[in-house]
Every structure is written in C-alpha cells, then in structure tokens.
A and B are shown apart, each in its own frame.
Chain A
C-alpha cells in the first residue's frame, strides 16, 4: 500500500461519507430498505489492512455518521462489528491459497459472484446489528429481520452500481 493508494482510499471514503450524509440520510426504499453506501469504503479496503486499524477506522466513521444522523452509537456499534468480521469472513470465503496480498476485494478484482458472496453476508450482519440497536424493545423480530435483509440487498445494489460506474476495471477508483 503506497501513499498514492492511501490518498485515493481516503478520498473515496470522504466522498462516500458525504454522499451518505447529504443524500442517503432520509432515503429508505418503501420506508424499509436503507442504503449504507459508506460501507463500500470499508468493504474494498485491501486485505493487507489488519483487523485493529480497520476497526479503528470503522469506529471513527460510524461515530461521525452517528453525530450527523442523531443515532449516537448505533452506526458505531454496527460498523465496528462489520470491521471485526470482515477479515475473518474474507479469509473464510477466499479461495484456497488466499488472496493475493495486495488485492482489494472489489468487484473488478474478484468478480461478480465472489463479490456478492463476500459482501452480502457482511452487509446483512451490519444491518441486523444496526436495526437491533435502533428498534430495541419496540420493533418485532421479523420486522427487524426483513428490514435488515432488504437494506443489505439495497446497499449491495448501490455498491455494485457505484463500482460499475466509477471504478476502472484495473484498479480501484
């Protein structure tokens, strides 16, 4: 990971965060499916970044979002869980022999099928954690489950669209 990559990842996360805060705040498809697009920034961080720095990044991102969304702690908790599980899941879901060290798990790098099987469960866990925190004691279990499922699906579609439109085939951004 060189300095050029570092800057481009920083820029990507900044842009995604801005889009999340400015446009996706009150957007919910059918009042049900939320888009957590900023997770794309965490999803495609290369596998060379270890769990601890990843978790710290996720914690800070989630916290900044929480301050803007007035949902203190909820995005933070979910994003930290997301970052904790990401390396584990990446290792479990990667082909035998593992990824190339510097490889980033983005659509262009690992292909359509593998990207979905890598991203969707993580997004689902994130959404589940978020909605459990949000609806604690008020919403029904199935409501939380269906909201999480559709939010994960919607977020997955958003990440696919963004990657298809804005990412070059060779390398990120």
Chain B
C-alpha cells in the first residue's frame, strides 16, 4: 500500500498533467457540441466589457466606413419605401394576419470577431436584456454573418459563418435549387455549397441566397456568388460548389439580428412529425 502511495507521489506531476488535459479536452468538447450549453465564453460580463473597450478604440478608426455603409443602406431603403408608399388616391387595404410581420429585426454592434480558427465566433453588444435569444440569425448589409449561440444579460455570442459547425440552408437564385452552405476551414472569403445534385446547371457568377427553409433567416438574404463548380470527388452524385462570400468578415462593425416570430409554431410542427429541425 505504501509503495503504491509512494509511486503515485512520484508520478504526481504526470497525474496532474493528465487531469488538467482531461479537463481542457472536456471543455473543448462541451463547448463545441451544438446543443450543449457553453459555460465560459465572451458573453461573460467581465470579458465582454474588456472586449468592448478594445472595440471602442479599434472601431473608432473605421467609423467613417461604417457610416458610409449605413448611409448607402439608408438610401436604398428610402428608395424602397417610396416605391411601397400607398398612393393617396388608392383604396386603403385592410391588413390581416397573413400580412403580419414574421421577422423582427434588431441592430447590434460587434465587439469581438475572430477569423483565424476553424471555429470562429462573434461577440455582440446586445443581450437578453434587449430581447436577443439563442438561435437568431445575424446578417449585415453585405450578406449573412452567422447565428446566435448563447446570450448573457448584455452580450451575446454568435457562430460566424466561418465556423465549420454551422450549416445554413441556401439556394441558387436563378434555378431555385437548394443546398446547405458550410465553411471548410480554409479560405476565409469562400464557403462550400453542399448537397446540390449533379444534374443541376450551376454556372460561375450565379447568386446564392438564403432559402428561408430553416426558419432562422428570411428568404433572399445574400450569401455570395458562385466562384467554382466541380464534381464532388468524394460523392460523384453531387456537385462541389465554391461560393465567394459577399460579407467581408474582416470588417464587421454593425450587424442586424433577425428573429422569426413564428419559430415556435414551426418548431412544434416539426416535433409533431418527428423531424429534427437543425436550424
């Protein structure tokens, strides 16, 4: 017995090493499982505050760019509004429930963003207090950005599109063929469009948009443009399509968050029919 204890004492450094490594690996696994709750991340008050201070300084220098983008977007929205405004002489329409907005938008500031890992996340300066919920879609005026993972009181953490575990339902605009967009961990300006069958004619330059099937994003948000079409080497039944992202992930300052107000209904319908809605 004494010998065993002596032996254990002699290898105590290694035992501690094994224990700490086990702890670290457990944290990696727990954090990366899509369903598992994340305990420690930058939505934490203290860390979020520090990141916000950093963003305050860094984003000061890109304020001009951010303003310009906002002005441009404002202009295009104004134009849209003018087109939609009801003419004074026309008959007023009775708005019924079918015209009720299914998507609600909120704006938020990006305080931290990473590009260089294979699991990239964004930290946003808006949290549960402002009505942010896990599962909301994130986009900006250029295109889609990601999906909210977890929220705290004032901050929230979102999967970036540049995260190998995020799948987004997409379609090719011209042919209405749908598939899933996923990042392969390589080039930060390109993603892969998966599950498009081989008989589909996809050409370079076609626009890829969100399909609206997954109830996270509304239909028609820009993802990017097809830059390369090849036959999938692993599974020749499908095409391997590379999409050039329209969003510049190195310059994110402000984003929009979108919530589907009918998500509960859709989700319970899926549950009733035993389908797994993978967002």
List the interface of chain A (C-beta within 8 A of B): 21-22, 25-26, 28, 31, 34, 50-52, 55-56, 59, 62-63, 66-74, 76-77, 80-81, 84, 133-135, 138-139
Q: How far is the CA of A150 from the CA of B224 in the complex (A)?
A: 31
* Inter-subunit contact B113/A26 (CB<8 Å): yes
Interface class of chain A by DSSP: helix
List the interface of chain B (C-beta within 8 A of A): 12-14, 16-17, 20-21, 23-31, 38, 40-42, 44, 47, 50-51, 54, 112-121, 123, 157, 164, 184-185, 188, 250
* Inter-subunit contact A73/B24 (CB<8 Å): yes
* Inter-subunit contact A68/B28 (CB<8 Å): no
Contact partner of B54 (CB less than 8 A), chosen from A22, A56, A67, A138, is: A22
* Inter-subunit contact A135/B185 (CB<8 Å): yes
Contact partner of A59 (CB less than 8 A), chosen from B20, B29, B119, B185, is: B20
* Inter-subunit contact B188/A72 (CB<8 Å): no
Taking CB atoms, residues of chain B closer than 8 Å to A66 are: 27, 40
Q: How far is the CA of A25 from the CA of B116 in the complex (A)?
A: 9
Closest chain B residue to A84, Cβ basis: B17
Q: How far is the CA of A60 from the CA of B21 in the complex (A)?
A: 12
Taking CB atoms, residues of chain B closer than 8 Å to A56 are: 16
Q: In the complex, how many angstroms separate the beta carbon of A127 from the nearest chain B beta carbon?
A: 13
Taking CB atoms, residues of chain A closer than 8 Å to B113 are: 26
* Inter-subunit contact A51/B13 (CB<8 Å): yes
Indicate whether A138 sits within 8 Å of B185 (C-beta atoms), given known contacts A67-B47, A73-B26, A77-B25.
yes
A-B contact count (CB 8 A): 102
* Inter-subunit contact A52/B13 (CB<8 Å): yes
Taking CB atoms, residues of chain A closer than 8 Å to B120 are: 70
What are 6 A-B pairs at a CB distance below 8 A? A26-B250, A28-B116, A31-B116, A31-B188, A67-B42, A68-B42
Taking CB atoms, residues of chain A closer than 8 Å to B121 are: 70
* Inter-subunit contact A52/B21 (CB<8 Å): no
Q: In the complex, how many angstroms separate the beta carbon of A125 from the nearest chain B beta carbon?
A: 13
Taking CB atoms, residues of chain B closer than 8 Å to A28 are: 116
Given contacts A67-B40, A69-B117, A80-B17, 11 further A-B contacts (CB under 8 A): A21-B54, A26-B115, A50-B13, A59-B24, A62-B24, A69-B114, A70-B157, A73-B29, A84-B13, A134-B118, A138-B185
Taking CB atoms, residues of chain B closer than 8 Å to A134 are: 117-119
Contact partner of B47 (CB less than 8 A), chosen from A55, A68, A76, is: A68
* Inter-subunit contact B20/A80 (CB<8 Å): yes
Indicate whether A52 sits within 8 Å of B16 (C-beta atoms), given known contacts A67-B40, A134-B117.
yes
Indicate whether A73 sits within 8 Å of B185 (C-beta atoms), given known contacts A26-B115, A67-B40.
no
Closest chain A residue to B43, Cβ basis: A70
Q: How far is the CA of A67 from the CA of B112 in the complex (A)?
A: 12
Indicate whether A70 sits within 8 Å of B118 (C-beta atoms), given known contacts A55-B20, A77-B28.
no
Q: How far is the CA of A73 from the CA of B29 in the complex (A)?
A: 8
Q: How far is the CA of A68 from the CA of B184 in the complex (A)?
A: 24
* Inter-subunit contact B20/A73 (CB<8 Å): no
Taking CB atoms, residues of chain A closer than 8 Å to B250 are: 26
Q: In the complex, how many angstroms separate the beta carbon of B182 from the nearest chain A beta carbon?
A: 10
* Inter-subunit contact B41/A139 (CB<8 Å): no
Q: How far is the CA of A139 from the CA of B183 in the complex (A)?
A: 12
Q: In the complex, how many angstroms separate the beta carbon of B110 from the nearest chain A beta carbon?
A: 12
Interface centre among A50, A71, A139 (most CB of B within 10 A): A71
Q: How far is the CA of A97 from the CA of B238 in the complex (A)?
A: 64
Taking CB atoms, residues of chain A closer than 8 Å to B164 are: 138
Indicate whether A68 sits within 8 Å of B116 (C-beta atoms), given known contacts A76-B24, A77-B28, A135-B185.
no
Taking CB atoms, residues of chain B closer than 8 Å to A25 are: 114
Indicate whether A72 sits within 8 Å of B28 (C-beta atoms), given known contacts A26-B116, A28-B116, A55-B20.
yes
* Inter-subunit contact B24/A77 (CB<8 Å): yes
Q: In the complex, how many angstroms separate the beta carbon of A1 from the nearest chain B beta carbon?
A: 19
Contact partner of B31 (CB less than 8 A), chosen from A34, A62, A73, A81, is: A73
Q: How far is the CA of A66 from the CA of B30 in the complex (A)?
A: 14
